[in-house]
Structure 1
Amino acid sequence: MDLQQSRIYVAGHRGLVGGAIVRHLTSLGARNLILRSHRELDLSNQAAVDEFFAAKRPDYVFLAAAKVGGIHANSTYPAEFIRDNLAIQTNVIHSAWKHRAKKLLFLGSSCIYPRDCPQPIKEEYLLTGPLESTNEPYAIAKIAGLRMCQAYRREHGFDAIVTMPTNLYGPGDNYHPENAHVIPALIRRFHESKLSNASDINIWGSGKPLREFLYVDDLARALVLLMEHYSGEEMVNVGSGIEVSIATLAHAISNVVGYEGKIMFDHSKPDGTPRKLLDCSRMRALLGPTVMTALEDGLTKTYVDFRDNVLNAQRDMHPDLAQDAEK
């Protein structure tokens, strides 16, 4: 991939992963990035996507656009999660092949693996057991996307590769109090609890489930390397190799934010998958040793992003409310 000359389309560039990919490509000297917001291009609109690819003819495509969310969002909007994701990935993959893109990288999700997988999770464990019920519609859509990439490679010779990242966090995340993933949701809740001097904060579940987290800029570096050097049908797990309990994570975020109240866990709420650690042997064999951002450092950078971008945006829109919140 010639970063200086190639036309590179990053679908979902305003999202967590897409934004990190753009930052990394820009740092490497990419000159011809093709970027479109949702308002400019609705990826669920087949005709619009086909027209876009016909006009812009990208050489390389990073398919990082998706409808994403945590347990609450997946449970509340299951129809939207399966419908929107099926439409987005179907339209982009087909149009990329149709208009002769050289290569496409599809972003899956570790939630595609069975709920009770042996640990760590190898790529070949896909479809060997039932999915986690709380995000099954989203997972099914992602499984369809990876199978579509493999099918287009087999039938058409299209160089579509598939990556499966672990749980992600970092600058540009969605900090919505109900629809966010666990780290950005907790950052917001701890910050607001700190401002209100709340004596305690209640978190869904027991706090016992184990999760692996990857700082999003580390993922972006791996994805660009895979786009440059990997071409194969087998999907590739991308993770940090380090897992932490939700309880430990909550206390780490509390320390970064500076919240001094008590942390409570609501055992009546669902935990989700008990444990989820990816086996990244294939990634390491392809890319060699990789340096990963330490969790505390990543959480600190993410909290800075929350304060600098999300809170500043709120102050710009509602200066009176922002002033009240800071009293």
Structure 2
Amino acid sequence: MGVGGWVGGSTGRDEVEINTWQASVTNQQWFLFPPFGRRSRIVAGFFLHLILRTRNGGYRRSEKEIQRWGRLRIVGRNERELELRETKVAVYGKGGIGKSTTSCNTSIALARRGKKVLQIGCDPKHDSTFTLTGFLIPTIIDTSQVKDYHYEDVWPEDVIYKGYGGVSRVEAGGPPAGAGCGGYVVGETVKPLKELNAFYEYDIISFDVLGDVACGGFAAPLNYADYCIIITDNGFDALFAANRIAASVREKSHTHPLRLAGLVGNRTSGRDLIDKYVEACPMPVLEVLPLVEDIRVSRVKGKTLFEMAEHQPNLNYVCDFYLNIAD
């Protein structure tokens, strides 16, 4: 971002009165009202330019991106207003219930609806986005180790990968099995992404979180999410886990705006227990996916239902369920 120009006449070096300066960002132009001479104004403008660019995330983000994805207004030295439009969704559910499969297919459904989607896998196994490419991508932990944990050397293209349907994806990763705290890594994943200003490029950000809410680390995505979606089936164990997750959402909603979007029934032939649960604990049922074997097979093949439907048109009706969730 270049210096747009100086507004106001020359003040002269012998002028006694010192006026306060004011800076604002409008249409990629800097407007300054300095009380100094010409040479001092140039030097002050240069350092002000560096300071304001640094406060806005350094040189990694251009004014064109700011204008497209948000509105930045700086008045004086203290006031900063940044309005963004991304929506963050956290997907939870009992382990093995099909969260990752549902998340990947829903992400593609959102992309088909014209949204720019980033899916963040919050599982040390780093297999959340496997069906979007058919292989495991390097995690944030892997990349950080390569960079010797110098986060300033990590760029978006180092950790964000494009998958099927144009969906971007990130894997948090975690410690080796039986060592360290996976929940801590999940909680720390968002920080480098924020440092990279990665969130501001997307309309929808989906957190695919492993298992039940066992501790504060695994509940960390709820601190950033606007909505929570719970994946379940028509069984007691999955609904018991859903009830714990709903309690966690209620607890988190006391500290920041967080809403429970509803339940998604995955691969179930009935919904009688689901109906009994939502009768006792009212919440929306977004969709109930049928008991289709191809949903499970898609995980083994490393493909989403949308990709499989390109060669198996009979699966298009299953894709419609995910499109309904996206709507």
Task: Please indicate the TM-score interval, normalised by the length of the shorter structure.
Answer: 0.3 to 0.5
Q: TM-score, normalised by structure 2?
A: 0.32
Structure number with bigger Rg = 2
Higher helix share: 1
The structure with the greater share of residues assigned to strand is 2
